Chain A
């Protein structure tokens, strides 16, 4: 019996979209029959508060993990990082059908990307984030998870060989219904929904308690340079610094629903709002925005402005809603506006510029 088990967590969509539920269920049904996997289902990742059972479960997983969610992988990965569910970014080979031509560059989401300050205290395990919007059938996901499981097994075996130290113990990881390592293709019949493997302390109905919707920024530390412009700009006390003087999202729920202003102000586009409908702000993979549905928000929202003006408007609106006074351009306006030399732009910068130019 292999000791290297892979935890697969599927994070459901918000609401009860029947098509999305259908895909979720067919993926779980297929995975539950795979050997070597522990499959669990939690609600929408972004909404999980610190006390939610689903979050506690995620925190309890110590080994390699695959997270399937309706979020961009970059957003999901850094969201988990913020919640203390850390690991190295697992490189997925699962790409949306349109992204094939232009992936000779590594994705920007890697922690070791030179631009940002990176994550700290990263344990020795890998987290793979897959985007459930990439395909509408279960097969590509199941195939990729098989590949990831093999990759993790190989990596761990090599590690075990090189330094004969004991393999990390997976706390609270249950046994799946089917364990035989060579039972591919001949799985036992298991009910996909009820047969999911959860530790007794994390009963499925607790795991799946519908959380209230939340709204807060997620920092991509592979891009963040710790410039502190967001903490200057946001007047709601969302941002803070940790003991290492690194910027962090200290008070997530101080954030104002629907307001992505700090994201527009961030010079490195390191701030994501996973629920925001503009892909670049929601954490879309860099250089891979095409192939999505058209976003008509600008059209339906009326006039638009440049990013900073829009951010100021959004901030003022929230200030007024709070019974405070609008401050316009007088507080926390990025210093780079005063002529900081521009660094070379990458694809995400260019994309954001393009979006800003659409003055609808």
Chain B
């Protein structure tokens, strides 16, 4: 049994990926807060620390239940998951991860001279947090922009046409 009534495995898989992408965006904010905390006063530091915790825990919170659900389905009925990696949303997610990796790579290349010359006293944690925040932001934003592709709204009309022609059963 899945989360929503009449939800098929591919639909659940798509929804799961959307939740994961949203959680990754939340993690991006969490890491950005952690990175920004290196430059602020103690008062603002406490605020940023709270923001980091809220977004970090929120991300874990929204993913954990669908993740357990997915694991349960995988262990129970593996054949139902065979096509889940071949759909449009899974493809967009995979491409978004590649873009995120590329952004992280380029970001680190730009951060490297910055680290050596401008901010030699900064903790390495800052650079790790910045790179992670950048990569996660690119992944999440890229995913949501590409996954809301115009996919032919005319289909609803088409479906209605079939249903009307079929008549009541």
A and B are interacting partners: no
Chain A: residues with CB nearer than 8 A to chain B?
none
